[in-house]
Amino acid sequence: MNFKTRSYKKELMDDLNLASKDLKKNLDELEFINTTLGGYKVLTSALDTLYKENKISSNKENQNTKMLTLADIGSGGGDTLRQIARWFDKKNIETKLTGIDANDFMINYAQNKSKKYPQINYEKLNVFDIDSKNENKYDWATMSLFCHHFTDEELILIFKNIQKLTSKGFIINDLHRNPIAYYSIYFLTRLFNGSYLVKNDAPLSVLRAFKKQDLINLLDKAGIEKYRIKWQWAFRFQVIVEK
């Protein structure tokens, strides 16, 4: 098994036309895995950091502050966006949250799961189609377990596009490529008798993931200068990019 360089082998979920009961089960499984392993903490702790630095504030405290907008890129089943919504609710911050995905099934699934969250909406959009008309459309963007689905060349373009899309910056939550992470998720998905999708894609996602230097190189090539990278449990990297 090669952990030195990123694998570019496609995951089954990379098929934008994928739509089935197995995909629904897979989305439920991913939510369970993220909840069990504390995966959402990577994003919420980044929001905590920005909040403490007064880079995210409540418009209820300052009437001159507009409602905060945030886009979750590759929102999938919407579980991450729902966690983000709960974080903002606890901070008493009014938000407009948008999940962006290119898969119709994902959009419909996420909408059904997010009915109790009026601040959340979903939009079908391919991240490669972001252009000048989308410039500064959102304050912040998040990408959770999204980046590893793409090649280095694609990611450089994506980072440039997300820079256009946001006025303040974006947060990345993605996997650390190493043997412990790989074999842990390999056996975990089999222990819980996961779907064929999660059994195939979860370990493969680790092989497609990153070392810290990979992320540094990609951000540098995208022309991004202001960022910080932090390792977090369980085998995740948290990246905060600011403009």
CATH number, position 31: 3.40.50.150
User: Is residue 165 domain-resident?
Assistant: yes
Asked if 110 contacts 81 with a C-beta cutoff of 8 angstroms, the reply is: yes
- What strands lie across the sheet with 138-144, from one edge to the other? 120-124, 95-101, 68-73, 138-144, 166-175, 236-242, 227-232
The answer to whether 93 and 68 have CB atoms below 8 angstroms apart is yes
Confidence (pLDDT) at 64: 58
What is the domain range of residue 39?
Answer: 20-56+65-144+155-172+209-242
* Domain assignment present for 140: yes
Amino acid 243: pLDDT: 94
Question: Measured in whole angstroms, how far is the alpha carbon of residue 46 from the centre of its chain?
Answer: 12
Single out the residue of 12, 4, 1 nearest to residue 205, CA to CA: 12
Listed as ranges, residues in the chain with pLDDT below 70 are 58-65
Asked if residue 134 is part of any domain, the answer here is yes
Placement of tokens 């890129």 in the chain: 73
Cis peptide before 19 (omega within 30 of 0): no
| Count: domains in the chain | 1
What integer pLDDT is reported at residue 138 of this predicted model?
A: 97
What is the pairing mode between strands 68-73 and 120-124? unpaired
| Residue 195 covered by a domain | no
Q: What was the pLDDT predicted at 29? A: 83
Sign of CA pseudo-dihedral 97, 101, 187, 190: positive
The predicted pLDDT at position 150 comes to: 98
Task: Tell whether 182 is covered by a domain.
Answer: no
How many other β-carbons are positioned within 10 Å of the β-carbon of residue 149?
18
Contact 121, 98 (CB under 8 A): yes
> How far is residue 9 from each of residues 77, 179, 220, measured CA to CA in Å?
23, 17, 24
Cα–Cα dist 187/213, whole Å: 27
- Tell me which DSSP letter residue 210 carries: B
| Predicted TM-score of the model (pTM) | 0.93
Classify residue 197: in a domain, yes or no: no
Give a yes or no: residue 111 inside a domain: yes
Which pair of structure tokens corresponds to residue 156?
A: 């450089």
Residue 72 in any domain: the answer is yes
Structure-block tokens of residue 82: 């729902």
